[in-house]
């Protein structure tokens, strides 16, 4: 495919967009990226997005028709089937099913993390922090010897988790670090993903600044520690 045939409709901070961007970068697939303002959604975007959310992937197929894919995992699986190398899913049906289940678990962790990061009161922050830590403890017990979730090769579960870890790499507060306290395998996993070129390139250079501003605008408790 030429560069003009895949277009990722994006938002600077969206973690679900990052999933797709990492897959595209890992597979060295040329694509264009268009960032939109989710607080002022363009009419053209609303016309093609069934959910009004990002990511979208516009695909100009070989027949000359343009198609729009939505939902991050559906897009990732399309890319895996269309560009099979390097493989990001396991080869056996059983292992693929297991990893799809861990994707769902990671998505739940994402919502716990977002709730904690954006909490404006202590009760919400504490409950979301505890829920996220419990999920990290489950990952601690499940992670391979590394450096990635299933071993030496980056996979789809890693890609889904990377945007969560990115949040905490920006924060330095004691309360955010407590989520990972004593979880050595998770810490090593987090570091391995932070050093991955595709993970680094999945966001713009000003991502950290944008994220901090978001927390400040949301009156999040953690914004005071920035």
Active site positions, annotated: 14
Cα gap 203→137, rounded to integer Å: 27
Q: Name the residue among 106, 105, 94, 57 with its Cα closest to residue 77.
A: 57
The two structure tokens encoding residue 99 = 């990893």
CA distance 11 to 3: 20
How many other CB atoms are found less than 10 A from the CB of residue 92?
9
Interatomic CA distance for residues 26 and 48, integer angstroms: 27
CB-CB contact of 6 with 30 (8 Å): yes
Residue 139 to residue 155: CA distance in whole angstroms: 15
């Amino acid at each position: 495919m030429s560069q003009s045939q895949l277009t990722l409709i994006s938002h600077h901070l969206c973690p679900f967009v990052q999933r797709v961007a990492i897959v595209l970068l890992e597979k060295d697939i040329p694509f264009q990226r268009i960032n939109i303002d989710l607080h002022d959604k363009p009419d053209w975007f609303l016309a093609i997005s069934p959910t009004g959310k990002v990511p979208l992937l516009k695909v100009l197929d070989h027949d000359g028709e343009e198609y729009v894919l939505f939902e991050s995992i559906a897009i990732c699986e399309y890319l895996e089937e269309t560009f099979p190398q390097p493989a990001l899913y396991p080869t056996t049906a059983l292992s693929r099913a297991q990893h799809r289940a861990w994707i769902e678990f990671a998505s739940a962790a994402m919502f716990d993390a977002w709730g904690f990061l954006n909490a404006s009161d202590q009760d919400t922050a504490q409950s979301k922090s505890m829920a996220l830590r419990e999920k990290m403890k489950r990952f601690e017990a499940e992670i391979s010897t590394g450096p990635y979730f299933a071993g030496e090769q980056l996979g789809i579960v890693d890609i889904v988790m990377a945007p969560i870890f990115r949040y905490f790499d920006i924060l330095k507060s004691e309360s955010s670090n407590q989520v990972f306290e004593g979880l050595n395998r998770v810490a090593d996993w987090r570091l391995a993903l932070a050093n991955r070129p595709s993970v680094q390139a999945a966001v713009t250079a000003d991502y950290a600044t944008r994220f901090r501003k978001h927390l400040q605008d949301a009156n999040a408790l953690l914004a005071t520690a920035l």
